[in-house]
Amino acid sequence: MVDEADQVEVKLGSSETSYEAEVVGTDPATDVALLRVDAPADQLHPLSLADSSKVEVGDQVIAIGNPFGLDRTVTAGIVSAIQRQIQAPNGFSISHVIQTDAAINPGNSGGPLIDSSGRVIGINSQIQTGGSSGNVGIGFAVPINTAREVVQQIEEHGEVKHAYLGISGGSITPDLAKALKLSEEEGVLVNEVVKGGPADQAGIAGGDTSATVEGASFKLGGDVITEVDGKKASGMEEVINAVNSASPGDEMELTVDRDGKSKKITVTLGVRPATAEGSPSGEPESPSR
């Protein structure tokens, strides 16, 4: 972890020369850090950055990194999925993540994921191990558009602030709705609301009665979110993506079902806490880093 390092050194290209780097800023919410390196201009050959929103499943990609300490390793594959969510080091979710089958192993983190035109589309971040210690064909990269926004905030403000709603919840399926006797077959069942948080201040209600369905625990009696800013929210993923795409201070209109009646509630989003510990987030389980 860069933010925990006492000293950071960088090697450029094929050179064996190391340059000391200054950590300008870090963002644990996206697993991105900005470094400043004092190196000769003729040693700096930056890669072009692509528009990661245009990445499509099936696109050919190359991953570069130092898996198991084997520096300058290149692996190839395709984009196997887009719009994934993974858990950041601080416990919150990173949205719009790129999934690839290019071999990524421990040590690849921080390396670029490059498209067929040699442009960076993402930063290799995590792998899904399935219980093993290495690559099983599922790796994840933070989209370069996200990294670009984070770097801009660090450069301009020295820190990064993310929007915060302050709820935990679970996605509703038709089977779950039937088992819990819910009036909506899709949406987000609000389990908990952070006391004093944005959702709480706006009047979003959490559950008050515990229930267990097929080994999973829920709290009943809370609001069911069915729309975010007029767009259908079929599950928690849509709510998380909407919050992650917003800024602190933005207003978000939530359509909720409460006791069988539809109601619109406007929430002014706050600033996300440093970590999700002790703060309900309703976010997916994390793959391995």
Contact 160, 29 (CB under 8 A): yes
Task: For residue 259, count CB atoms less than 10 angstroms from its CB and return exposed for 0-12, middle for 13-18, buried for 19 or more.
Answer: exposed
Say how far apart CA 63 and CA 102 lie, in whole Å.
Answer: 6
pTM: 0.85
Q: What is the pLDDT of residues 246-259, one digit of tens each?
A: 999 999 999 999 98
Calculate mean pLDDT across residues 99-126: 95
Q: What is the pLDDT of residues 35-88, one digit of tens each?
A: 999 999 999 999 999 999 999 999 999 999 999 989 889 999 999 999 999 999
Task: Give the model's confidence band at 133: pLDDT under 50 very low, under 70 low, under 90 confident, else very high.
Answer: low
Say how far apart CA 92 and CA 85 lie, in whole Å.
Answer: 10
All domains in the chain, ordered by first residue: 2-157 (2.40.10.120), 163-271 (2.30.42.10)
Contact 224, 257 (CB under 8 A): yes
pLDDT of 289 over the 60 cut: no
Amino acid 288: pLDDT: 38
Contact 174, 185 (CB under 8 A): yes
What integer best gives the mean pLDDT of the chain?
91
Q: What is the pLDDT of residues 164-187, one digit of tens each?
A: 999 999 999 998 889 888 888 999
Say how far apart CA 233 and CA 274 lie, in whole Å.
Answer: 26
| Dihedral sign from CA coordinates of 16, 67, 98, 56 | positive
